[in-house]
């Protein structure tokens, strides 16, 4: 994973399976997803979002409380992979795409912030039942 600055500069790219909203081959792990969501410098998720079961997050992005009631795992994957497809003006990084990115530091060019497996893990956490 990269630093927050590099991660924000990178964005998302992906394989054909991700473009179709299909999960990766390996089994998703909610435990790994939780760990990824908490990584402020690598993913930055908790900097902008309130996420059930995690310490208080930011209020810049929408709360992810109740996500399963308003979205499917496939829809959430698509938005996390590259939210620019839904809102070209978004400030959310493209986590699984490198398309259309400029001024990316040489060591990070062509690399995505997350792997398809890491994205599956995050979605697995977000869609597991959480106790208040």
Assigned domain for 79 exists:
yes
Segments in 82-131 forming alpha helices (H): 116-126
Domain tally, the chain: 1
Which pLDDT score, from 0 to 100, does residue 17 have? 36
For residue 11, give its domain range.
Answer: 4-126
Assigned domain for 132 exists:
no
Assigned domain for 71 exists:
yes
CATH code, domain with 78: 1.10.760.10
Burial call 25-53: b when 16+ CB within 10 Å, e when fewer: eeebbbebbbbbbbeeebbbbbebbbbbe
Assigned domain for 47 exists:
yes
Assigned domain for 131 exists:
no
Q: CB–CB of 77/119 below 8 Å?
A: yes
Assigned domain for 37 exists:
yes
Assigned domain for 106 exists:
yes
How do the pLDDT tens digits run along the chain, 132 residues long?
443 333 333 333 333 333 334 444 579 999 999 999 999 888 999 999 999 999 988 999 999 999 999 999 999 999 999 999 999 999 999 999 999 999 999 999 999 999 999 999 999 999 998 766
The model scores a pTM over 0.75: yes
C-alpha to C-alpha distance for 89 and 119, rounded to whole angstroms: 22
């Amino acid at each position: 994973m990269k630093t927050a600055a590099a991660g924000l500069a990178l964005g998302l790219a992906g394989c054909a399976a991700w473009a179709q909203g299909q999960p990766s081959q390996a089994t998703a792990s909610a435990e790994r997803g939780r760990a990824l969501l908490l990584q402020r410098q690598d993913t930055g998720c908790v900097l902008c979002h309130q996420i059930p079961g995690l310490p208080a997050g930011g209020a810049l992005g929408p709360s992810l409380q109740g996500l399963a009631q308003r979205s499917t795992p496939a829809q959430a994957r698509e938005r996390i992979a590259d939210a620019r497809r839904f809102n070209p003006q978004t400030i959310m990084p493209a986590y699984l795409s490198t398309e259309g990115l400029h001024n990316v530091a040489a060591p990070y060019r062509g690399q995505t912030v997350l792997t398809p497996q890491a994205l599956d893990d995050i979605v697995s956490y977000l869609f597991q039942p959480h106790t208040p």
